[in-house]
Amino acid sequence: MALDGILLYKMIPEIQAILPSRIQKIYQISQNEILFQVHSKNSGKQQILISCHSLYNRILLTKRSYPTPKEPNNFVMLLRKHLEGATMDSITQADLDRWCTIKIHHHNQLGDYEELSLIVELMGKYANVILVNQENKILDALKRIPPFENNRRIVHPGAEFKPTPPQDKKNPFLHPIIDPNQSLTQQFSGFSPFLAKEIEYRMSNGQSFEEVLKEIEASHALYIANQANEAVFHCIPLTHVGKCVSYPFFEGFDILYYHKEEKERIKEISGDIFHVVKRELKHQTQKLPRLLKEYDAALDCDKYRRYGDLLYAHQIKDTKGLSEIELLDYETEEKVKIPLDARYDGVKNAQRLFAKYAKLKKGQQYLEEQIEICKREIAYFEGLLEQLDMVDFETAEEMKQELIKGGYMKQVAKKKKPNKKDAIPAFQTITLPNGISISFGKNNLQNDYLTFHYAKKSDLFLHAKDYHGAHVIIHSDEIDEATLRAGAQIAAYFSKGRNSSSVPVNYSLVKDLKRIPGAKPGMVQLTKYKTIFMDPSEEEIHSLGITL
């Protein structure tokens, strides 16, 4: 669901409240996102996020922490040159359209006072950020539009900035008179079809148009609901959808979009580990049927020994020029067709058949080993793919290092040797109200370190049975049922079975675990264990203080 002009109208005053602010740092979060760290005398340090993603475009104040690429693009470098140390003075919306202007002033390299404008356009796939000087010339843009793409509106360094043409629609807050012959979206600027549907529903239930507008004006919250498995939202309760949850305005947008865009940031920042994992999984999945076919053929090796025996038994010598021969099997009293190599005599053909038998017999053991390795690789990459669904930035970087160490990815640049503190995987730990701590890993390196290096022998280990998932460690000698269920809930939720019910979770003391020789990191064998069944619940995970 896209941002509309009314929502932008509600955002602008909240951003204006922290202005004027001095721009301290400018970061590129991803290909489509820019983060401004600013400082205001009244509100202190703040972060302004601008996203030009085709689906999640927005501008908002955020308190989330974001990693940044090592090399920002040219546009961000230009913003740093002109805007770091400058002052954001104001932000204004173009009527109720989905674009706004941030006015900025600074002193240029010669010390002269200069005014700049940062144009933020939030129009779906056309979303953009454009830096314009006081002569109305474009200095640069996040997404350039050269003349051969659009000769009516050029967005390119040196071109004159032309604002998006205004829509010939009424401002509902200034002219709240409805024309019954037109839809609300046709009459009023800033209205999305979703908001229009909500207002029409309210009006059909007795609420006036003016009352809805007053409610929009007074709102300081974002209401989020689910409709057909998709998040819908606006600044008033969504009565036509049903139950919805309200959040402080910008916090609601963070909840909506942070994790949706996180995977894309991970691909850009940590390398395309999704591509590598899927590529290797596809390779191993295609390889397994071929190995099984070869193994079936190897199991049928006795027939070649039988063919050789028959050639010797019948004392066949002259076979040159023949591709096959039919001989009587004295044991079964049946005739058997024996394939031959036309280049050789009977003795040589018999020797070749015995050699093929020996090769296939020996190959059975090799193929068994290769099939087992292939199955382990498939399970390993399926586990990595599952982990990528719940991954964060630190976890993704650890997974990248795991793949590099395993030879599946190449190290781009030689890094300095990490110190001991940096080498510790970043597993997560929570503390329950009873004071007991629970730790869990989200990737193989975290699971391996947590289980075999960090946990004590007397701690309790939990893991979803027959699923890829988190290793969970309860750090206590005495565990009550509530604590056990909390640990089992974490193990069930952070596993491939989180969308299932009655997920079996095995638990045992750490001292009863064993490493599997030659297995990938995080693989364990339980010598003694018990099982508890859990229904994974996102609400219960949130109640434990775990942020998803």
Q: What is the pLDDT of residue 388?
A: 81
pLDDT digits over 191-236, tens only? 999 999 999 999 999 999 999 999 999 999 999 998 887 889 999 9
| Residue for token pair 């025996």 | 309
pLDDT digits over 319-331, tens only? 888 998 999 888 8
pLDDT digits over 297-347, tens only? 889 899 999 999 889 888 888 888 899 899 988 888 889 999 999 999 999
Where do the H-state alpha helices sit in 436-544? 444-449, 481-493, 538-543
Under the banding of pLDDT at 50, 70 and 90, the label for residue 422 is low
- Mean pLDDT for 265-275 is 73
Q: What is the pLDDT of residue 98?
A: 94
Q: What are the φ/ψ torsions at residue 92 (nearest 5 degrees)?
A: -135, 145
Token pair in block for residue 449 = 């370190």
* Per-chain mean pLDDT for the chain: 89
Token pair in block for residue 51 = 């996203």
Q: Which of 20-24, 83-87, 520-524 has the lowest mean pLDDT?
A: 520-524
Q: Which of 106-110, 174-178, 354-358, 445-449 has the lowest mean pLDDT?
A: 106-110
Residues 222, 203 contacting (CB under 8 angstroms): no
Could you give the CA distance from residue 443 to residue 425 in angstroms, rounded to a whole number? 9
Q: What is the pLDDT of residue 167?
A: 83
Could you give the CA distance from residue 1 to residue 488 in angstroms, rounded to a whole number? 35
Under the banding of pLDDT at 50, 70 and 90, the label for residue 58 is very high
pLDDT greater than 80 at residue 256? yes
pLDDT greater than 80 at residue 100? yes
Q: What is the pLDDT of residue 436?
A: 94
- Mean pLDDT for 451-475 is 93
In the chain, domain spans: 5-141, 184-268, 275-387, 426-543
| Residue for token pair 């955002």 | 11
- Mean pLDDT for 486-512 is 92
Q: Which of 232-241, 263-272, 394-403 has the lowest mean pLDDT?
A: 263-272
Spatial CB neighbours of 354, under 8 Å, sequence gap ≥ 6 = 304, 305, 308
pLDDT digits over 115-136, tens only? 999 999 999 889 999 999 999 9
CATH 3.40.1190.20 is held by the domain 5-141: no
Under the banding of pLDDT at 50, 70 and 90, the label for residue 45 is very high
